[in-house]
Amino acid sequence: ATGRPHLTTKQHTRTDLPRYTEFRYQTGRMSGVPRPAAAAMDAAVNGSVAATVKVLAAQPAACTPASKPCGAVVITLRQPRCLPSLVCVAQQNWNLPPGANDSEAWMTTFAFDARTGRRLALDDVVPAARQQAAADAARASLQAQLKADGMNPSDWSAPILPSSLKAWLPEPDGVHVWFAKYAVAPGVMGIVETVIPWSAVGGRPSLG
């Protein structure tokens, strides 16, 4: 059945990992799109979640004291608003490795063609010739965000390259980009989200 694309999530908890205070994750099921497209979307999203769970569950468990669980993993799914004809899914990953002093956090994103379930690449949304402009716009936005938050932008002045735009989604107001904790800003800011206006990349794409 087709209609309005809708992601339904299911919660899972691992109880076989004694060094974790919690280890929970979500899987998803897409409806409101053609059945083959839904199957492709579900396979991509749930495959990503399964791969992430596998990697994080295999982290060396070294807690001090050893009798106390000390690690935690939380993986959640949501469906951000997307451009027409597309379906967007965001996988948020949070990980406190056993024995670590601080957590990690990052996003994994999926932009799908609503009719076919094909996962889009950045080239489908931002022409290759405009991707450096997109990266520059992301950096300018981040620098302004740091300044507004009372931080020194020069402490985080490394250039952002097109290859840095790994987690992105095409939303009505522009390309939303997420950077992992510590990648472009102090850890207190966690995952950092910024928006590249469509005007910075030559306008919204025509995706059918």
Q: H helices of the chain, where?
A: 35-57, 122-125, 131-148
- pLDDT at 162 exceeding the cut of 70: yes
Q: Coil, strand, or helix at residue 130?
A: helix
0.85 exceeded by pTM: yes
Band the pLDDT of 55: cuts 50, 70, 90: very high
* Residue 173: C-alpha distances to residues 19, 33, 189, 194 (Å): 43, 24, 22, 11
User: What residues contact residue 13 under an 8 Å CB cut-off, 6+ apart?
Assistant: 22, 23, 24
User: What residues contact residue 48 under an 8 Å CB cut-off, 6+ apart?
Assistant: 91, 108, 110
- pLDDT at 49 exceeding the cut of 60: yes
Band the pLDDT of 167: cuts 50, 70, 90: very high
- pLDDT at 2 exceeding the cut of 70: no
pLDDT digit string, tens, across residues 107-139: 999 999 999 999 999 999 999 999 999 999 999
User: What residues contact residue 66 under an 8 Å CB cut-off, 6+ apart?
Assistant: none
Instruction: Give CA–CA dist 16/66, Å, rounded.
Output: 16
Res 51: pLDDT:
98
Res 190: pLDDT:
92
Res 67: pLDDT:
54
Winning range, highest mean pLDDT, from 19-23, 41-45, 134-138: 41-45
Least confident of 97-106, 149-158, 192-201: 149-158
Res 206: pLDDT:
80
Res 159: pLDDT:
84
User: What residues contact residue 7 under an 8 Å CB cut-off, 6+ apart?
Assistant: 28, 29, 30, 77, 78, 79, 89
